[in-house]
Amino acid sequence: MTAGLVADIAVRRGGFALELQFALAPGATVAVLGPNGAGKSTLVEALAGLVPLARGEVVLAGRTLERPAARVRLSPQERGLGVMFQGYCLFGHLSARDNVAYGPRARGVARARARAEAQAWLERLGVGEVGDLRPAALSGGQAQRVALARAMICRPALLLLDEPLAALDVSARAQARRLLAGWLAEAAAICVIVSHDVRDAIALADELLVVEAGRLTARGTADELRARPPTDYVAAVLGEG
Ligand X SMILES: Nc1ncnc2c1ncn2[C@@H]1O[C@H](COP(=O)(O)OP(=O)(O)OP(=O)(O)O)[C@@H](O)[C@H]1O
Binds ligand X by CB under 6 A, chosen from 49, 56, 135, 141: 141
* Residue closer to its own copies (CB basis): 119 or 142: 142
CB 156 within 8 A of CB 143: no
Buried b (16+ CB within 10 A) or exposed e, 191-230: bbbbbbbbebbbbbbbbbbbbbebebbbebebeebbeebe
Residues making contact with other proteins (CB under 8 A):
48-50, 52, 64, 71-83, 85, 87, 89, 91-94, 102-103, 105-107, 150, 154
Q: Does 87 bind ligand X (CB under 6 A)?
A: no
Q: Does 215 bind ligand X (CB under 6 A)?
A: no
Distance of CA 33 to the CA centre of its chain: 12
Per DSSP bridges, beta strands 29-33 and 190-194 are: parallel
- Minimum Å gap between C-beta 58 and its own copies is 21
Q: Give the span between the Cα atoms of 82 and 45, in whole angstroms.
A: 11
Per-position x/- string for 147-186, each x denoting binding to its own copies as judged by CB under 8 A, each - no binding? ---------------xx--xxxxxxx--------------
CB 26 within 8 A of CB 187: no
Per-position x/- string for 110-149, each x denoting binding to its own copies as judged by CB under 8 A, each - no binding? -----------------x--x--x---x-xxxx--x----
CB 225 within 8 A of CB 52: no
Q: Which parts of this chain interact with ligand X (CB under 6 A)?
A: 13-14, 16, 34, 36-42, 86, 130, 133, 136-142, 196
